[in-house]
Amino acid sequence: MYLDSITGKQLKLLQKLDHYGRQRLQRSNSLDLLWEELKSVRGKTFPESLLEETIATLQHFVDEINYINVVEIASFISNTDYLSTLLLDRIASVAVQQIEKIHPFTILAIILPFSTLNYDPPQRDEFFGTCVQHLNSYLGILDPLMLVYLGFSLATLQYFPEDLLKSIFNIEFLSRLDSQLEILSSSLSARVQFHLMELNRSICLECPEFQIPWFHDRFCQQYNKGIGVMNGAQQQIYKMLAEVLGGINCVKASVLTPYYHTVDFECILDKRKKPLPYGSHNTALGQLPEMPWEPNTEIVGSRLPPGAERIALEFLDSKSFCRNIPHMKGKFAMKKRHLEILGYRVIQISQFEWNSMALSTKDARMDYLRERIFGEVKS
C-alpha cells in the first residue's frame, strides 16, 4: 500500500538511502562508531530494510556494551520492538556487574526493553533485584512519573518489589503525583494515570497480600465511555462467533471485566461444552458494552453454573508482538494473566493466523473457531 503511493523518483531515492545506510553499517568497526550513526534515528520509524542488519551489527559488538552506553542501547531496543536475546542478556549482565557505575535515575530505561518485549534474562531475579536495590535510597526523590512507569514496567514482568510499590501507593506520593499531573499536557497526564491504574490493577490481582486497595473505578468508567463501537472486521467476527455458538445471544462483544479490561468477545460454555445464552443483557452491534458484573469482584467463576467456564476471545494485531518474531509483548501477556486470574479461559488469535492462507475462507475460519472454543486449545 505504501509503495503504491510513491513515485518512481521517490522509490529510487529510498533505494539509494538504503544502499548508503548499509554501506555505513558495514564500515562501522566499533560500537562507538556505530552508535554515532544511530543516535539520531528513532526506533519506531527505523527503516525496516536496515533494522535487521543494524541489530546484527550491534550483536557483533555485543562485548563492547558497558555501563557508559548500556542505557542508550537499551532505549534503542525498546523503541525498535526488536527482540534480540543476545543484546538483552548482555544488558542484564552489565547492569548486574557494573550497577554502581550506572546512574540510578536511568534504571527505568534499562528495564524497559525487558518489560516491553516480555523477556526474562537468565539471571532474572538477580538483575531486577540489583536494579531495584540500586534505586531504593532514591525512592523519595525520584520523579513521580518515572516511579509510576518503573512500577508498571516491573509489574508486566511479574516483579513486585514491596518497598517500591508502597512508596507509590501512599497519600503523600499520590498528592505529589496529582500536583505534577496538573501541569502536564492532557495527553501525557492521561498516559500516566492509565499506567497508575494498570499498576493498581496488577497488584490487586497478582499481589492481594499487599492489601493495596483498588481505587480506579471512577477513572475507568470515564476512560471507557468511548468504547464499544465495532469496526467492519470485528462485526464480521462477531457474526461468525454467533453462528458457531448457536445465536447472537450466546456471545458478547467489548465486555468489561470487574477491573475494566476490555475483552473483544466473550462466551460461556456449560459443563457439557454447550454455549449458555446471555438473554436480554447482550451487547448489540455498535452499542457500548455493559459495565462489569460487580465492582471489585476478583474471581468471577463462582457466579457461573457448576462446571461452566467463561471464555475470552482476544484478537491480537501486529502491535501485540515483537517486530521480528511472533513473541507476545509484555502488556498483552499481562492482560492474559489477569483474565485467567479472573476465571477466564483465554483464547488469543493473532492477526497473522487469522489472515493466513489456511484461514482464507469463511468455512475455514468457522472450523478454526469451533476447534479453539470446543476442542483442545492449541498452545
Q: Each residue of 41-97: pLDDT tens digit?
A: 655 666 777 888 889 889 999 999 999 999 999 999 999 999 999 999 999 999 999
Judged on CB neighbours under 10 Å (0-12, 13-18, 19+), 89 is: middle
Closest CA to 228 of 262, 277, 279, 190: 262
> 147 vs 21, 67, 106, 359, CA distance in Å?
37, 22, 11, 44
262 strand-pairing partners = 256
What average pLDDT does the segment 142-165 reach? 95
CA angle 335, 220, 194 (to 5 degrees): 65
- In this model, does residue 281 exceed pLDDT 50? no
Q: What pLDDT was estimated at residue 295?
A: 35
> 229 vs 194, 255, 260, CA distance in Å?
21, 12, 17
Domains in the chain: boundaries: 3-221, 226-374
Percent of the chain predicted with pLDDT > 70: 82
Tell me: the pLDDT tens digits for 96-126?
Answer: 999 999 999 999 999 999 999 999 999 999 9
What average pLDDT does the segment 305-331 reach? 94
* Sheet (strand 309-316) strand order: 252-256, 262-269, 309-316, 344-350
Q: What pLDDT was estimated at residue 278?
A: 86
- In this model, does residue 181 exceed pLDDT 70? yes
Residues ≥6 apart with Cβ < 8 Å to 290: 252, 255, 256, 281, 283
Q: In the numeric block, which cell numbers belong to residue 364? A: 475455514
Is 291 or 156 the better-scoring residue by pLDDT?
156
Residues ≥6 apart with Cβ < 8 Å to 222: none
Q: Are 54 and 25 in contact (CB under 8 A)?
A: yes
Q: Does residue 315 sit in helix, strand or coil?
A: strand
Q: What pLDDT was estimated at residue 192?
A: 96
DSSP single-letter state for residue 355: T
- In this model, does residue 375 exceed pLDDT 80? yes
Rounded to the nearest integer, the mean pLDDT of the chain is 86
Q: What pLDDT was estimated at residue 74?
A: 96
Cα–Cα distance for residue pair 304/130, rounded to 1 Å? 44
Q: Are 220 and 197 in contact (CB under 8 A)?
A: yes
- In this model, does residue 333 exceed pLDDT 50? yes
Closest CA to 328 of 317, 342, 338, 339: 317
Q: What pLDDT was estimated at residue 286?
A: 36
Is 18 or 266 the better-scoring residue by pLDDT?
266
Q: In the numeric block, which cell numbers belong to residue 343? A: 476465571
What average pLDDT does the segment 283-305 reach? 44
Cα–Cα distance for residue pair 152/200, rounded to 1 Å? 9
Q: What pLDDT was estimated at residue 284?
A: 37
Tell me: the pLDDT tens digits for 131-141?
Answer: 999 999 898 88
How many Å separate Cα 73 from the centre of its chain? 21
Grid cell 498452545 in the structure block, residue: 379
Q: How confident is the model at residue 34 (pLDDT cuts 50, 70, 90)?
A: confident
> 145 vs 96, 142, 168, 219, 233, CA distance in Å?
25, 8, 10, 18, 37
**200, 206, 210, 214 alpha-carbon torsion, rounded to 10°:** 30
- Specify the pairing of strand 309-316 against strand 262-269: antiparallel
Cα–Cα distance for residue pair 258/265, rounded to 1 Å? 15
CA angle 43, 30, 13 (to 5 degrees): 50
What average pLDDT does the segment 228-255 reach? 88
Q: How confident is the model at residue 6 (pLDDT cuts 50, 70, 90)?
A: low
Q: What pLDDT was estimated at residue 287?
A: 39
- In this model, does residue 251 exceed pLDDT 50? yes
Report the chain's C-alpha Rg in angstroms. Answer: 23
DSSP single-letter state for residue 257: P
Cα–Cα distance for residue pair 199/331, rounded to 1 Å? 11
Cα–Cα distance for residue pair 111/114, rounded to 1 Å? 6
| Residue 312, H or E segment | strand 309-316
Q: Are 328 and 295 in contact (CB under 8 A)?
A: no
Q: Does residue 349 sit in helix, strand or coil?
A: strand
Give me the helices (H) in 246-375, please. 330-341, 351-354, 362-374
- In this model, does residue 271 exceed pLDDT 50? yes
